[in-house]
Structure 1
Amino acid sequence: MYFFEALQTVLLTHDTFRQLAESFGNFEGLIAPYLMGFELGIQSAIIASVTQCFYAWRIYILSSSKILTGLIVCVSLLQCAGGITEGITCFIYNSTSSTIPIEAKASGIWVGGSAACDIIITLSMTYILWKKRSGFQKTDSVVNKVIQLVVETGLLTATMAIVQLTLYNMFKDTEYFMTPVGALSKAYSNSLFVLLNNRSQMRQQRDTGGTTSLNLPQLQTTRAIQISVNQETFGVRNDATADRSSDKSQYDEDLKAGLGGGLPGGAPQVQA
């Protein structure tokens, strides 16, 4: 994905400069296809298919539904085939015009299939994750965040694909559709990137969720702390015949004497 995105960026920059700078004032140079059949048609279709198949795999892990997963993969491969066909047609006819019948059909399969696959993925993931709600606030909060992420990324790519297809069919003599088609593959790759980052963050929350951590202030000095303990001991009268009341009164006097000195007798004095 990274290699395809880097290569596409380089090729798009090169063709855009030739189209808008070198061919300035030349209409034929403005509408020339250059390498757009490969960089926009073929590469974008493959990038979209990789992202959609990754979502399909996650849906299979969550639901174990082979039918739903197979449906998503089939639609994804269908749109990929349409994008590759559209790219090859651009090279054969040396044009990106929708007036060429086979190119218009290939673009419809490519872009329409991408939008349909994105909608299926969004609805399926939302339904599956909604059923995973357990009623516990912490768990449901995580599930809601994942649902929000899936809906946002899925609707974004589906909306861009629909806009691209609408511009392609409604304004056949213009190049308006080039704007969304140039950004569509970036939307797919970024949605996958966001999904992977979200998975990493959820794993970190899971690993640290069961432990309690205390954020204690750290000392900003390396100076050693010395602690000295002074202890005092009092003699205990072991005379078994002594009057216990006198022992108690002697102990009370000793205790008062200790309190007068600042700490009870026998208590350690700590100096930091």
Structure 2
Amino acid sequence: MPPLPYVLDNTLGAAFVGMTVAAVLHGVSCVQAWYYFTHQSDRWPIKSLVAAVMFFDTVHQALITHTVYSYTITNWGNPIILDELIWSLLVEVLFNGLTALLVQSFLTMRVWRLSSRNYLLTGLTALLVIAEFACVIAFTGLSLGLKTFSRLANLEALSITVNALAAAGDVLIAATLCTILHRSRTGFHRSDTMINKLILFSVNTGFLTSLCAVGSLITIVVAGHTFLYIAFFFCIGRLYTNSLLATLNARKMIRGSADGIHSTSDNLSFSLRDLPKNGTVTSSKRPTNISIKIDTTKEFAMDRDSDQELDNDKTMHCTVGQLCYVLLWSSFVVAN
């Protein structure tokens, strides 16, 4: 009986597609990184974060390229290799986890600041992020001692946990940021426009990475014997990197929609002419013309914090003192 043919479409084919899409996304992230370092003036912590994310992302791309090259070129025509594990396929999980850890930690800090230091919400988010990275370390450490995919199947539950925690963390971060920003609406057109754009970026940041993590989770449960889940997992790190860079590079555009102070003045003027001449007015210096002008000034300003993040502060000032003074003066004149 002849041996059963190897099916390559949903194994090496899926891995090849995932590597190709990841390479395209890596090119996009490189362009965004170039734009960031040439057009943004952040302090060294944020710049170091971007540099570290790009480094881990580049190493991950090199590792998955080595994996596909080893299976399809180095071992071409050797079907036995399809059941053996290549070391780069296992190590790439760690670098994907490092990229996710840095980006999610950055977003967790944003949750901490925008939520006015909410310990419970920030702690829950940080717990999901740390738990995901701990599972990544455990998976990498245990898998490096294995030689075949059949043995790797014993770690399927751990792999499912990694993807589930990643999806849960991304959804929680996106939902939290959207809720906080929605509650920050002021009713002013310019400030609400900026908040709407911030909400859109927050949704995109969590939606794409969550979608990819859920796709990897579903495929590993439904078709764990194929490489379909690997195709999704190859791309999730690129989505984290591009989400971070897109958020940082879009700050000037968002500020441009509502930057500076927007002031409007509403003038209310009226005159008291020819006060009654009979009986009630006794002052010899009775004014014949009194003009009352009430100026109401509304201001909207955005406060740039030290590391130029997208935190905003809305202030509205009304000249209440002037209004009270005019009302008191007008009452005094009429009474006399």
Q: TM-score, normalised by structure 1?
A: 0.71
Offset at residue 168 of structure 1 (A): 1.1
Aligned position for 1:159: 211
| CA deviation map 1:195-220 (0-9, x unaligned) | 11123433565655669xxxxxxxxx
Aligned position for 2:130: 77
Quick one: higher RCO (CA 8 Å, sep 6+), 1 or 2? 2
Structure 1 residues 92 and 72, CA, compared in 2 at 3 Å: closer, same or farther?
A: same
Residue 94 of structure 1 aligns to which amino acid in structure 2?
K
Q: Is the 8 A contact 1:31 1:175 kept in 2?
A: no
Aligned position for 2:232: 180
Residue 27 of structure 1 aligns to which amino acid in structure 2?
P
Equivalent position to 1:48, from 78, 100, 111: 100
Find the residue that maps to 1:29 and give its secondary structure: helix
Structure 1 residues 98 and 156, CA, compared in 2 at 3 Å: closer, same or farther?
A: farther
Aligned position for 1:143: 195
Offset at residue 24 of structure 1 (A): 2.2
Q: Is 1:5 equivalent to 2:18 in the alignment?
A: no
Matches within 5 A, 1:256-267: none
C-alpha RMSD of the superposition = 2.0
Equivalent position to 1:127, from 176, 179, 195: 179
Indicate the larger mover: 113-122 or 199-208: 199-208
Q: Is the 8 A contact 2:170 2:207 kept in 1?
A: yes
Offset at residue 79 of structure 1 (A): 0.6
Structure 1 residues 2 and 198, CA, compared in 2 at 3 Å: closer, same or farther?
A: same
Gapped regions of structure 1 (runs ≥ 5): 212-272
Residue 48 of structure 1 aligns to which amino acid in structure 2?
A
Aligned position for 1:93: 146
Work out the CA distance in 2 between the residues paired with 1:105 and 1:98.
13
- Count of matched residue pairs: 209
Aligned position for 1:37: 90
Indicate the larger mover: 64-73 or 113-122: 64-73
Work out the CA distance in 2 between the residues paired with 1:105 and 1:12.
22
Residue 253 of structure 2 aligns to which amino acid in structure 1?
Q
Aligned position for 1:201: 253
Q: Is 1:189 equivalent to 2:248 in the alignment?
A: no
Q: Is the 8 A contact 1:53 1:73 kept in 2?
A: yes
Work out the CA distance in 2 between the residues paired with 1:209 and 1:30.
63
Q: Is 1:116 equivalent to 2:168 in the alignment?
A: yes
Q: Is 1:66 equivalent to 2:119 in the alignment?
A: yes
Q: Is the 8 A contact 1:90 1:96 kept in 2?
A: no
Gapped regions of structure 2 (runs ≥ 5): 1-52, 264-336
Find the residue that maps to 2:144 and give its secondary structure: helix
Offset at residue 145 of structure 1 (A): 0.7
Aligned position for 2:71: 19
Aligned position for 2:334: none
Q: TM-score, normalised by structure 2?
A: 0.58
Offset at residue 52 of structure 1 (A): 1.0
Work out the CA distance in 2 between the residues paired with 1:32 and 1:201.
49
Residue 109 of structure 2 aligns to which amino acid in structure 1?
W
Find the residue that maps to 2:76 and give its secondary structure: coil
